[in-house]
Amino acid sequence: MDEPSRRTILAAGAAGLAAVAGCSTYGESKDAPGTTAPAGTALAKTGDIPVGGGVILGDSQTVITQPTAGTFKAFTSVCTHQGCQVANVADGTINCDCHGSKFAIADGSVVKDPAPQPLAPKQITVTGDAIPLT
């Protein structure tokens, strides 16, 4: 059996490295340690959540949105497609940059594939200006 040449090994290694580098952001946050805040712990203040938008709270893997003035919703921040953390909330959707999935801020439903399921809701309450998990 012939031994591969040094050039063949280096070319194969470079191709493999290029493939990995091209996917360097794929799934990065998927394995990020997430904690679940104890019930009653305030995650945010109402003034932090823009009307028609929302905020992502990575430590608790939660997205809190305010679809209309005074209505607050919470969802998991883990995309249902490949488990990446969603990246931002803009233009009425919660957006995952890994593969382009988008979810509605009002109910977490899928607005744009490839996500197969909506974001799971989380239970919150509004107490004064604090928004804790229940």
Fold designation for 30-132: Rieske Iron-sulfur Protein (2.102.10)
Specify the length of the chain in residues. Answer: 134
Q: Each residue of 12-29: b (16+ CB within 10 Å) or e?
A: eeeeeeeeeeeeeeeeeb
Hey, where are the domains in the chain? Answer: 30-132
For 38, the token pair is: 């104890």
Checking if the pLDDT of 20 tops 50, the result is no
| 11 has a pLDDT exceeding 80 | no
Sign of CA dihedral 74, 80, 85, 91: negative
Give φ, ψ of 38 to 5 degrees.
-60, 150
Query: Residue 4's pLDDT is what?
Result: 62
| Percentage, residues of the chain above pLDDT 90 | 66
* pTM for the model: 0.72
